[in-house]
Amino acid sequence: MNLLLGITGSVAAFKALRLGRILRDRGHQLRVILTRGGAQFVTPLSVSSLLGAETFTDQDFWAPVPRVLHIELARWADLFILAPATFHTLSKWALGLADDLLTSTLAAYQGPVVFAPAMHTEMWTSPVLQQHLLRIEGLGGVRVGPTEGPLASGDHGIGRMAEPEEIAEVVEQLLALHHTLRGKKLLIVYGRTEEDLDPVRVITNRSSGKMGAALVRWARRMGAEVSSIVGSTSIQPPQTPTLIRVRTTDEMLEAVQSHFPQCDALIMVAAVADYRPTERHIYKRKKEKEPHLTLSLETTPDILQSLLPSKKHQLIVGFALETDMDLKAAEQKRKTKGMDLMVLNTPQTLGVETVTGSLLDEQGSTPFEGWTKDHLARQILAWLANRWRRG
């Protein structure tokens, strides 16, 4: 594979040379972009000599030759690696700034990017950087580290660049997934719906949207064309070419029915409110006037059930959240709602980073425990890829 390594201005730049050697020894083709800051720690000569790789700097970028270097490099690379990735470089990436060879190549590059931050603890914990990281990960960036340990200042804290061996393993994992969903159109529906009681209050649930965001990020990294329909979330949804925001169950139902015929697979991870008030009050209900409030509720439409008459070639992945984890009842629900794969999980997954449950398909059930939502997303998408490969 063709790997493009960007080395930026951090004392951890020497680790990038070891990373480059590991990747080269595994048979990958390597090219390197060395920023002006990076060249303060390692030289173009040392990089090209130790790695046997073409090494480019801003001097090459501004050279008066008929070569559009940043476009050439962006098209050449199967994977882009930023190691070390400094506060400055990450901020420019998040803001869409392209004023040198590295950031211009990054702006033109269309594939997955692995980045390994390296900076002092106070810089890493900066609210500005944390906002930038949300933007970067929403764009599909895959972060490795940083780790905790001794820093260049002599302090001890978080901010050390991850070890080259760890970065290399993430690179290999991404390359194994690279383009496995190319040409497939995925519709990913996530977030929670809200049903109005009055102009202020709603009936909803505690779903954060993190699982759906993980699915979007990994589907894009695997080459799928992703459209997303998103309810209320506690996070910033990753950008997709088509991103439709909805709030109520009826709005989500209409959007899903409209886009379902064009997709190859629907992943329905939305936490749809099962009930809504039979009457929505125009004015805010006041406790002084109604110290004891009795609500009349009705069920909301079943979105997956409504799709059954129009299901043709599409695969459907659905989620079920149950307190009792009854596999027999879950399997019946999977069949009734036309799901090819069901993810059964518990209320303990709401808003947290890990999931415990079971995957159910026509072959049976597979339990899992303590998976991160990123890992579960990869397993779901790998299931889709394997199903399409089998035909």
- What amino acid positions are annotated as catalytic residues? 205
Q: What is the pLDDT of residues 183-238, one digit of tens each?
A: 999 999 999 999 999 898 999 988 899 999 999 988 988 889 999 999 999 888 88
Q: What are the helix (H) ranges across the chain? A: 13-25, 44-51, 58-61, 69-76, 87-95, 101-108, 121-124, 127-138, 164-177, 210-221, 249-259, 303-307, 327-336, 373-390
Question: Which residue ranges form the domains of the chain, and what is each CATH number?
Answer: 2-177 (3.40.50.1950), 185-390 (3.40.50.10300)
**The two structure tokens encoding residue 228:** 């997303």
Statement: residue 83 has pLDDT above 70: yes
Rounded Cα–Cα distance for residues 289 and 279 (Å): 17
Structure-model confidence comparison of residues 375 and 85, the more confident one = 85
Q: Report the C-alpha gap between 358 and 329 in whole angstroms.
A: 13
Instruction: Name the token pair of 216.
Output: 């979007």
- pLDDT for res 354: 81
pLDDT value at 250 more than 90:
yes
Look at the block and give the residue holding tokens 């695969």.
315
pLDDT at 351 (0 to 100): 66
pLDDT value at residue 294: 87
Region 129-133: mean pLDDT is: 91
Residue 80, C-beta contacts closer than 8 angstroms, at least 6 positions apart: 4, 6, 105, 106, 109, 111, 112, 113, 114
Report the pLDDT averaged over residues 266-288.
90
On whether the CB atoms of residues 214 and 373 are closer than 8 A, the answer is yes
Q: What is the pLDDT of residues 23-42, one digit of tens each?
A: 999 989 999 999 999 999 99
Share of the chain above pLDDT 70, in %: 99
Residue bearing tokens 């425990």: 369
Token couple for 354? 């890990």
Give Cβ neighbours of residue 12 (< 8 Å, ≥ 6 apart).
83, 84, 118, 160, 161
pLDDT for 333-378, tens place per residue?
999 999 999 999 887 777 677 888 999 999 999 999 888 888 899 8
Q: How far apart are CA 247 and CA 275, in angstroms?
A: 14
Spatial CB neighbours of 391, under 8 Å, sequence gap ≥ 6: none
pTM of the predicted model, to two decimals? 0.71
The more confident residue out of 182 and 302 is 302
Query: pLDDT (tens digit, 9 = 90+) per residue, 3-17?
Result: 999 999 999 999 999
